[in-house]
Amino acid sequence: MGTEREDPFAARAAVARRAMVRGIVAAGELTDPAWRAAFEEVPRHLFVPYYYVGVMGGYERLWREDPDPARRERWLAGAYEDRPLATRVRNGDLVSSASQPSLMASMLEALDVRDGDRVLEIGAGTGYNAALLAHRLGDERVTTVDLDEDITEAARAHLAAAGRRPTVVTNDGARGCPRRTPFDRIIATCAVPSVPPAWLEQCRPGARILTPLATGVIALRVRDAGHAEGRFLHTSAYFVPLRGAVGAGRMPVHTGGLPRRATEDDLFRFLLALTAGTLEPQEAYALWQREERPARERYGVTVSGERQWAWLDEPEGPYLWPLGSPAPHEQRS
């Protein structure tokens, strides 16, 4: 695969990319000019040479080398739609995807990077998010980690095709990347049931950690190697879980007897996922009603030594729920 200048799709891709960015901006994201420039200039299609779209009974594969010109055009157009793209399917199950660009934009802006920051990304995936980070901060300040060597090799190739060379490491994401510490920011692209201790240990005091948890995204400020605290962003977020993390980001299965409007409400689903294994669905529903459908920003997470808990409104308030332990392996969404 050559550089974008040698790419026969480059001109049409540039038009589609500008349209994608205009849509994200219109939705209220990409208010930072530096991040807008990154999305305008990093070619997403180079990171998804193939992907899968859902069809009746399974998935259909679209790829850039399809002999059918119409299907190649579908592939290119889909690469710049503001939606997640399934990039790895095993035995009919989705195991990895490229995240929705508008959600990526929201998370990257919430990461609140500054010039000179060193960033660790957990979950290399296609390499697209690392490319955006490298565009903003420089290749030498970005490290991205994934468990599977085939994923990291592919990400490294995609990044090189786009002219970017951040550090790509094959490692268990829950263990971070000790040889590249310390970090000023950590951003995860997989859902975790709790915050891996290694992440805090590899951060500078004052660092920021952004990670999917339940069906939201928690933004933590790190005080030291054993303490961090923060609140959830307003947005919903559904990511492939940390590999082996049973129940991460999932609703309890038994919700019989609850009103349909509750079980279909995104905020109630978030509360169920956050308190799974701690509150019965009926208890969660009573709380949800009593607190008048609390928005995600009212919830937070505290890490204090070996204890981690989620809370509503206040870290030491009346509503507290312990978080589970992270599993040892991770998988990019």
Helix, strand or coil, per DSSP, at residue 26:
helix
Catalytic residue among 96, 99, 194, 333: 96
Q: Which helix (H) or strand (E) holds 271?
A: helix 266-274
Asked about 96 being catalytic, the answer comes back as yes
Contacts of 195 (CB under 8 A, 6+ apart): 209, 211, 213, 220, 228, 301, 303, 308, 323, 326
How far is the C-alpha of 258 from the C-alpha of 314, rounded, in Å? Answer: 27
Helix, strand or coil, per DSSP, at residue 242:
coil
Helix, strand or coil, per DSSP, at residue 75:
helix
Strand 183-188 to 203-213 pairing? parallel
Q: Which residues are catalytic?
A: 96
